[in-house]
Amino acid sequence: MADTAKNPLQQLGEYGQSPWLDNIRRGLITSGELQRMLDNGIKGVTANPTIFEKAISGSTDYDTAIEKLVQGGKSAADIYKILIIEDIGNAADTLRPIYDKTEGEDGFISIEVAPGLAHDTEGTIKEAQEFWDAINKPNVLIKIPATAEGIPAIEETLYRGINVNITLIFSVGVYRQVMEAYLKALERRVAEGKPVDKIASVASFFVSRVDTKADKALEEKLKQTQDPDKQKLIKSLFGTTAINNSKMAYEEFLQVFGADRWERLKEKGARVQRPLWASTSTKNPEYNDVMYVEELIGPDTVNTMPDATIKAFMDHGKVARTVDANVDLARRQLAELESLGISLEQITDELTVEGVESFSKSFTTLDACIEAKRDSLLSGLSERYSASLGELGPQVSQNLRLAGSKQYASKIWDKNASFWKEDEAAQKTIKNRLGWLGVASIMRDCAADTAGFAQEVKEAGYKSVVLLGMGGSSLAPEVINRVLGQAEGYPRFFMLDSTNPGTIEAIERRIDPATTFFVVATKSGGTTETISFYRYFREKVDAAKGEKAGENFVAITDPGSSLEELASKEGFRRTFLNMADIGGRYSALSYFGIVPAALMGLDIDTLLDRAETMAEACAPCVNPEDNPGTWLGTIMGTAWRAGRDKVTVLTSPDLDSFGLWAEQLLAESTGKEGKGLIPITGEPAGRPSAYAHDRLFIYLTIEGATDPEQDHEVQKLENANMPVVRL
């Protein structure tokens, strides 16, 4: 039995599993946030170049260091290596007490060789040695991908006495090669009389991405059959492949590290090369958000998790030995998958290629990000937000210090409902509305699938797309369309969020129902207006296409809603099930915003990339003064306390539609219990004398695309000591 006095994260140790954090950035170390996570049960860290890039581009964590390096004439590539080596070294020092206490079993931090070397054996060995020598800490692991060229590099690096984290393992076959490389490296050292007791290695076996790809293949099989028994079989396999694949890997681990060959090395002091479960955040909103932790718990394992998964597991994770449970069932389900014509080997081969490409892209983006930061610091254009607060200034400064001491940002990111309410019933409601905090990272893994769906719709010859939705389901897509437009060659995009007969008639005149694709979007699945829109246009499409009418419709809704059932019954082309813990008006970066954006032909990866950058800028480890979310929220809250409860949103001309969306967000999210902010949008800046002392102005602009006349009017407001925020 687990010790219930410990949190679920700490209880994992009782079953032989070490939880690690998949995230590192400078602010995490300097703010004490990393130490707080270690105190809660985290025992190691794997560096994530994507998060590192977002921290550089979105926050001020690295500005001072980069500025000094720029002045020293360093290139972007030089700057990256200097920054990452320093961060990894500092993290290793923070983790060192755990390393010492566990006698070298835990307390590790990983650093990754450049993914451009994934197919360069000698280049990988060289860079691994350089990182190892430069950091010079015993609790560092060098990450090397398990490509065909990476396997011999792994063996040679381990033979040299360097700790290695083998990454991008998706298949059991490749995992066997990784274990063989480890054993051979140790055997070579033993044969030469070299010690093996200090060498550490983990094998990072990737989990959730396998389900993402396998489930997509199962969806295709489901569409192709009308056989009830086959449909039942297919449905039973959704969400099983990744865990089953991992359990097969663990079976291999037990065999290899239970054999005589290993026992001979163990007698020399060798350490087990532990399986490390990677990519363990849940991508499908229908699945348990901690399933890839709960189902893979067992001895001699590591699970590296992103922040959101760690917090979810600490909140409601269940701990038991599961990694070697129901192995026969796992084996049978994998055989059933193959019997359907779905090749697990093909899936894992594709994932390996895609994994290398994804990591390469992260490093390319990282390089560009450092270059951009370097240029902005040289040009002095790095400031993206500022405020002229007049008499509010001193109180805002005081409240920002309070936000830091009370850890407001941490409480929000931790989804700590007591931050808002003490009542338990209210807290339950609040906790079920905070999924938007991590949605950009989750949707990143769905971006390729969503873009592929949009391409499918385009290639099917549809001329128009009409979004049927109300309020939160429609405002963000409207802003995206009006601000970013749509790509050439994609269907014309229309939005229907009004029951006004004239509005409906105007759209109907511009489309042909037979060649129009309809997006039916409602969180609850039963929004009267949205379902009425659907019924009206379904009748039109039925008349034009008969039995094939369903292929003109896609549903976006929450799992278990009446729309999900309706879409299945009436043959929709597809249903996108959204995360249930996201309120409608916060759904911009969920399927409610991303599917329409993809149908416009927009670059979903870039859209989510910018969102993740802002998320990292607003991370809890960032000082409140430098955290744009905490900073802006504090200004608005301080203004309200001072009687300035009206927020006038002014925008560059190209962003005018944003104000309507912000208006709803602000009006519906506040205005509770007499504590609301009243948003005002669509009006130009007036003369300072026209306003009472009840206004806060927020001026949102696109660099290089502002209205000179409006700029002049905003400057007048600032000169009159009116509080003005510039973004």
Positions marked catalytic: 143
Q: Are the CB atoms for 437 and 587 separated by under 8 Å?
A: no
Q: Is the dihedral of CA 285, 289, 295, 299 positive or negative?
A: positive
As a whole number of angstroms, the distance between CA 400 and CA 405 comes to 9
What is the rounded CA–CA span in Å between residue 280 and residue 305?
6
List all residues 6 or more positions away from 485 whose beta carbon is below 8 Å from its beta carbon. 600
Chain-centre distance for alpha carbon 500: 38
Sign, CA torsion 55/61/62/67: positive
Nearest in space to 307 (alpha carbons), one of 429, 419, 442, 406: 442
CB 521 within 8 A of CB 541: no
Cβ atoms of residues 90 and 84 within 8 Å? no
How many Å apart are CA 109 and CA 325, to the nearest integer? 30
CB under 8 Å, gap of 24 or more: what pairs does 183-187 form?
183/256, 183/261, 183/262, 183/265, 184/155, 185/154, 185/155, 185/156, 185/157, 185/158, 185/159, 186/158, 186/265, 186/268, 186/270, 187/265
Neighbours of 364 (CB within 10 A): 13
Tracing tokens 């026992």 back to the chain, one arrives at 263
Q: Give the CA count within 13 Å in the CB-facing half-sphere of 311.
A: 17
Q: Are strands 695-700 and 724-726 parallel, antiparallel or unpaired?
A: parallel
Question: How far lies 134's CA from each of 84, 92, 100, 138, 393, in Å?
Answer: 11, 13, 21, 12, 45
Close Cβ partners of 374 (under 8 Å, ≥ 6 residues apart): 66, 70, 76, 79
